[in-house]
Chain A
């Protein structure tokens, strides 16, 4: 368990937290009803939960969140309680099952909303209206409610019912068409960072509206479009949209616009044991300093902005640079380069990140104990808060794990629970 700042028991809105006791966190006291599944929605509610909100995750009875069926799986065993994706995305949430298609289920949902500050949903636009649970309805039972809807293209517009993927988010919202080599197809990021970005944007907007509600007493409805979250800037997109108006030129693969480093000694280079990234160009003399100021590189043509760009000059410089890099390891280069003021970094493989000296000293990865998988190291906090820390209070919930706890907090008796079960509500 991460160290905690103070020893006050963690208070949920409805009762004392039993499983873990941690200090007061930044969002302690915030109550969230979470209807989201898969990636972008759970990213949003994970940020809220990890910084202290009491997030009650509602899953459909039987199947649960679709992410439970997505890998990677613990020991490569496909199982709804062993999805690494689900386990990572749902830490600190309490899990209940509830059938929203059912009248009794809807009434139970409204009871939860009455005692909540925030509802987050990521259904296909129109679903909440169809269920009779639109913001207009929920606002009536709780006028201070903040509700966040996350969808592929937003709640309005001609594409509102279209499906979304990582590729589409980066291709339509983001600038994928100019990412890659001119002679090849445009290239996506590894895994799904654009969907995480959409979730992070939703978390930002939610916490802003929640803060506004606490100060001004009025809730709000937030419409997050994954496409919009990319257009607003993924990898220089915002700037490129303006530059296009400035010059009439579109960027292309091989000649991207306004993003990334350019010039001699810039980019990804091989070295003795992998690759290193350098930002050279303007500050090339720092690279030569790193290499011990070799006589071969003293010619001013390498540094003069007028001659530096000449392909032959660049080639001559980089041939020397490359031979030097091949005689050093990426970590050596990183340290020597930084000592001479270079902007450079080693390319780490996934296993190497776990062993990185900075990552280890700062305890970035944390052990999370889970009833089915046991202890696993998860990527930890996105940032460090001195007084109101990120903390793992509990692992991701088993399907329906907190039904008894949450429904009894709502005032349902054991007999009520049996009735709910028999009417296929939970």
Chain B
């Protein structure tokens, strides 16, 4: 019997054929932690007297969650990561360089890789045909030192997205639709593979938005087979030679199959406090918004900023609605600057912040007041996620977020399409 993408990649990294349900120890290609989870990994390696990394270039510490640091306690935790990097040679991606998941796809991950990270959204890289999954600090500590992890091989769910995406509907709406349909634990433990003509026509940027949110349905990873779009992305990133064809075999076993008709989709919004609480824009009445946030590993890429800027051009944010824009990486920021997008945001009344996770993690750069409502392009709307359990988080595409910033309430972006 054939194999799914996950089964192929894990088999290659174990050195024999593996099947779903098996516990295995696998070799890894890329290992990372961030400033929230990394300090614990470093402390554990210190305790074990194992302060070393298996591969300097591919053991990475990202300072993105509280970046630049707003508090001395966090600064001290970050210092620990910088010292570890100096001592072991682990790669350091410091303040201002961007969100780990965006940086990983820009400069590290290749098709067929096995990637582990101490961050739940590590599944993002799966759009490059890599098996990429989030773990805890202990797993990652040992992966840094030994270059190995223990895994249970997951079963795979396949999602086939067919038809044509209507105007004003984006990959964010596709993944919100899927999570709304199967539930926040609808794919717990499973690998989620996405395919179909809609997926084939998406840019890499849009694909990353989909795999980024696999964990919001409980998935172990999100995966998309490689094709010409993957190839030209890697080429542009200077890694054209790292391209390889990787797809599930036609006789691979999928535990479940889901079909999604893209033609029927409309812009969607996820309501508080669970990601699967999804409503269509046509069913939403008058939700006033105190803050709009455009950015994150889900939707802070150049394509996202272009879409938001096209709506905000020559317009102002609503006087009662704050607008915060955070490019996902330094490179995204630079490109947006050169294209004039940053000027559009500033003219529209936005606060543009340095690359990183921004207010999504609830530590800095836009913590909500009691009772306030935010519409964000991030991936998660749990109670307390943005630093205040008395706040309310709604999730949407950058287009819906931009239109809502103008109107001061949740708004249909299709009214603003030219």
Chains A and B form a bound pair: no
